[in-house]
């Protein structure tokens, strides 16, 4: 079934998910790492549905890596809520593919929307390669010449920042022998002041992955806090590994009622 025209969208794939209690925090809201995990898993299931394109990738020595998430959260899914996760390959250019994830409640209201930038990495050299078109063809996304730019990420204010070390643990490493991208959220969230975590809920996230971290590394999680407007703050993060920045992020938080 060929698609026509020039619409910025590709094949969609949907699945239902009952939010597990262990995926939730003290507020009984789904945690960011749990949400990211289930979304990325859904794109993996789409790949399998379209004929195990991920296996074809590894046969060529390639792997998908995630470069950036730009997330808008209207309402975090709640414990035991049945949500629908939708994923859609949007478009791709020479070096990147763009994919949307959406989460809907049972009345089909949108809870979360995420624009994700993927790239193809050579597993041996750990370097990015050009997008191989036959590998993305099954998703029927549009080829574009431009880049989709995510909002600029504001830098940590080092004058006011706090810093917390984390050891990269065995269970942080996945079947691709690499740190699952959701783990960075553990390091960032767990560095934020408890008063913010308890009294605010996530409104948006913009995160950019710059460098891989490996088993045994001791990373440093930096965070500074900015007032955005009344009842809204932004936590500004970076993860430092061996004096290089591995990941940067801005998270906005909205005061709970």
Quick check: 76 binds its own copies (CB under 8 A)?
no
Between CA 246 and CA 243 the distance in angstroms is: 9
Pairing label, strands 162-167, 218-229:
antiparallel
Closest approach of Cβ 2 to its own copies, in Å? 29
Minimal distance, residue 41 CB to its own copies, in Å = 5
47 scored as a contact of its own copies (CB under 8 A): no
Asked if 24 touches its own copies (CB under 8 A), the answer is yes
Site residues for its own copies, window 210-249 (CB under 8 A)? 215
Binding of its own copies by 169 (CB under 8 A): yes
Nearer to its own copies, 186 or 212 (CB): 186
The residue count for the chain:
257
Residue in this structure with the two tokens 């025209």, named with its chain if needed: 5
Of 112, 113, 109, 105, the closest CA to residue 83 belongs to 105
> Using CB atoms within 10 A of its CB, is residue 2 exposed (0-12), middle (13-18) or buried (19+)?
exposed
Q: Strand (E) positions, the chain? A: 12-18, 62-73, 82-92, 97-104, 110-122, 127-129, 142-143, 162-167, 200-209, 218-229, 232-241, 244-255
Size of the site for its own copies (CB under 8 A): 36
Q: Does 175 bind its own copies (CB under 8 A)?
A: yes
**Of residues 119 and 189, the one with the C-beta less far from its own copies:** 189
Using rule CB under 8 A, residue 21 touches its own copies: yes
Does position 48 bind its own copies by CB under 8 A?
Answer: yes
Binding site for its own copies (CB under 8 A): 18, 20-22, 24-28, 31, 33, 37-38, 40-41, 44-45, 48, 79-80, 169-171, 173-175, 177, 180, 182, 186, 189-190, 192, 194, 197, 215
């Amino acid at each position: 079934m060929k698609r026509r025209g020039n619409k910025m969208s590709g094949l969609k794939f949907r699945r239902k998910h009952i939010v597990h209690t262990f995926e939730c925090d003290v507020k009984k809201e789904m945690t960011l790492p749990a949400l990211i995990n289930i979304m990325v898993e859904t794109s993996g299931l789409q790949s399998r549905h379209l004929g195990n394109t991920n296996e074809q990738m590894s046969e060529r020595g390639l792997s998908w890596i995630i470069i950036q998430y730009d997330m808008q959260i209207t309402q975090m899914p709640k414990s035991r809520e049945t949500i629908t996760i939708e994923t859609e390959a949007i478009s791709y250019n020479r070096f990147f593919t763009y994919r949307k994830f959406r989460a809907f409640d049972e009345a089909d209201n949108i809870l979360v929307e995420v624009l994700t930038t993927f790239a193809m990495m050579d597993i041996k050299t750990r370097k990015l390669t050009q997008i191989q078109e036959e590998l993305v063809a099954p998703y029927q996304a549009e080829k574009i010449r431009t880049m989709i730019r995510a909002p600029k990420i504001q830098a940590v204010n080092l004058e006011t920042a706090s810093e917390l070390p984390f050891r990269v643990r065995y269970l942080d490493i996945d079947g691709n022998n690499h740190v699952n991208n959701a783990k960075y959220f553990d390091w960032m969230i767990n560095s934020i002041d408890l008063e913010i975590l308890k009294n605010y809920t996530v409104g948006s996230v913009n995160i950019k992955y710059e460098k891989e971290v490996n088993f045994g590394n001791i990373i440093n999680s930096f965070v500074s806090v900015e007032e955005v407007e009344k009842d809204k703050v932004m936590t500004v993060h970076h993860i430092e590994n061996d004096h290089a920045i591995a990941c940067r992020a801005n998270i906005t938080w909205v005061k709970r009622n």
